[in-house]
């Protein structure tokens, strides 16, 4: 079905694997188009409650495809960046939580893709960076915007302007990733987290993701008003009624997403 992506669903978890190991999973137009296609399908699939995004082989994503980019003129380059923004913004805004399982290189577009996910778990062998200025360009898929929001303006400026790469432990220290684990246990650790998310009430989880993302760009009062709306929405669900009933009766309820 896909040329550059592997996708499967196990239980309530969707697995998206970028599958260009011969190119260290570099992002070309086909990868971007297929990412948009698969996440559009995921967004509509009620069976999927959480998504794990990773790369095949020893790389998460080593960057955008320099071979393709090297021939672009200014107009084409702008359109390429705009499409990358469209894809990454879509991944960020879908209601299903997306976890980046960063198994190796997450450079340039790969770091930007990881930052578009809800949170990031890294292998101790992962490497991060925005090396674009060393190639005569700027980050083009959100790096100048998302990195400063995650690690602060000064740290983002230092990383982007020096084009330096950092290891997983430093990425954890500055807040670029949420957890670092042994390479051999990466998928097991991420699957455990995804399973915990998938076991919770889907409407509540989806509302929380939306509230976190939207509220991040709002003042406290506007964000609080938004939160109250989301809180109220949950009380129109069967899951809220049955979940609270089970809690009061010291029982368990398997959430249905209704």
Evaluate whether residue 205 is within a structural domain: yes
CATH number at residue 210: 1.10.12.10
pLDDT in tens, 116-175: 999 999 999 999 999 999 999 999 999 999 999 999 999 999 999 999 999 999 999 999
Asked whether the CA dihedral 1, 29, 8, 239 is positive or negative, the reply is: negative
Whether 76 and 132 map to the same domain: the answer is: yes
Among candidate residues 34, 56, 112, 191, the one labeled active-site is: 112
Same domain assignment for residues 223 and 152: no
Number of C-beta neighbours around residue 175 at 10 A? 11
Judge whether 243 lies within some domain: yes
- Chain-centroid distance, C-alpha 40: 14
Active site residue 188: no
Whether 22 is a known active-site residue: answer no
Q: Provide the phi-psi class of 125: left if phi over 0, else alpha when psi is between -120 and 50, else beta.
A: alpha
Q: Give me the pLDDT at residue 252, please.
A: 87
Residue 258, pLDDT above cutoff 90: no
- Domain extent for 138: 5-198
- Give the pTM: 0.95
Q: Are residues 128 and 236 in the same domain?
A: no
From the candidates 33, 132, 188, 189, give the one annotated as an active-site residue. 132
Note whether 87 and 132 are same-domain residues. yes
What's the structural domain count of the chain? 2
Q: Do 67 and 32 have their domain in common? A: yes
Same domain, 22 and 45: yes
| Co-location of 222 and 111 in the same domain | no
Q: What mean pLDDT is reported for the chain?
A: 96
Q: Output the CA–CA distances (angstroms, integers) from residue 184 to 166, 189, 250, in the order listed.
A: 20, 10, 38
User: 218-256, pLDDT tens digit by residue?
Assistant: 999 999 999 999 999 999 999 999 989 999 998 888 888
Are residues 53 and 31 part of one domain?
Answer: yes
């Amino acid at each position: 079905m896909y040329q550059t992506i592997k996708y499967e669903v196990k239980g309530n978890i969707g697995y998206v694997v970028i599958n260009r190991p011969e190119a260290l999973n570099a992002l070309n137009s086909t990868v971007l188009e297929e990412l948009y296609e698969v996440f559009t399908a995921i967004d509509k699939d009620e069976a999927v409650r959480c998504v794990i995004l990773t790369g095949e082989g020893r790389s998460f994503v080593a960057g955008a495809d320099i071979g393709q980019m090297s021939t672009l003129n200014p107009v084409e380059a702008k359109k390429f960046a705009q499409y990358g923004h469209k894809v990454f913004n879509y991944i960020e805004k879908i209601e299903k939580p997306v976890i980046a399982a960063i198994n190796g290189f997450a450079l340039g577009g790969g770091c930007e893709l990881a930052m578009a996910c809800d949170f990031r778990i890294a292998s101790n062998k992962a490497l991060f960076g925005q090396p674009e200025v060393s190639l005569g360009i700027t980050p083009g898929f959100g790096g100048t915007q998302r990195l400063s929001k995650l690690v602060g303006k000064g740290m983002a400026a230092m990383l982007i302007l020096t084009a330096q790469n950092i290891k997983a432990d430093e990425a954890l220290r500055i807040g670029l990733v949420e957890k670092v684990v042994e390479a051999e246990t990466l998928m097991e650790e991420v699957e455990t987290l995804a399973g915990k998310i998938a076991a919770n009430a889907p409407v509540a989880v989806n509302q929380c993701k939306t509230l976190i993302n939207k509220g991040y760009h709002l003042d406290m009062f506007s964000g609080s008003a938004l939160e109250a709306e989301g809180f109220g929405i949950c009380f129109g669900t069967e899951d809220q009624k049955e979940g609270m009933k089970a809690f009061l009766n010291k029982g368990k309820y398997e959430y249905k997403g209704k």
